[in-house]
């Protein structure tokens, strides 16, 4: 039986930034997922890999 290949939802750019984040940001700063925003409009946030998310955090930013 062939070995299953693990595929990551997050790409190389995210892994690189996550490594830098772990090196320079204090461990007490919480981040539930390694998402690095590239752009946002309204509730839609696009990350550096091109994935689009809806922001339900309730933060009001003009």
pLDDT tens for each residue of 32-51: 778 899 999 988 999 999 99
Average pLDDT, the chain: 82
pLDDT band at 28, cuts 50/70/90?
Answer: confident
pTM of the model: 0.66
List the chain domain ranges: 10-25+33-62
- Chain-centroid distance, C-alpha 32: 9
Query: Mean pLDDT throughout 12-27?
Result: 91
Q: Are strands 37-41 and 44-47 parallel, antiparallel or unpaired?
A: antiparallel
Task: Look up residue 42 and give its two tokens.
Answer: 């309204």
pLDDT, greater one: 52 or 7:
52
């Amino acid at each position: 039986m062939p070995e299953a290949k693990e595929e990551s939802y997050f790409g190389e750019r995210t892994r690189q930034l996550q490594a830098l984040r772990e090196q320079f940001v204090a461990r007490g700063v919480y981040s539930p997922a390694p998402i690095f925003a590239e752009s946002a409009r309204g509730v839609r946030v696009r990350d550096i890999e091109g994935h689009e998310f809806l922001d339900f955090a309730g933060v009001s930013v003009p």
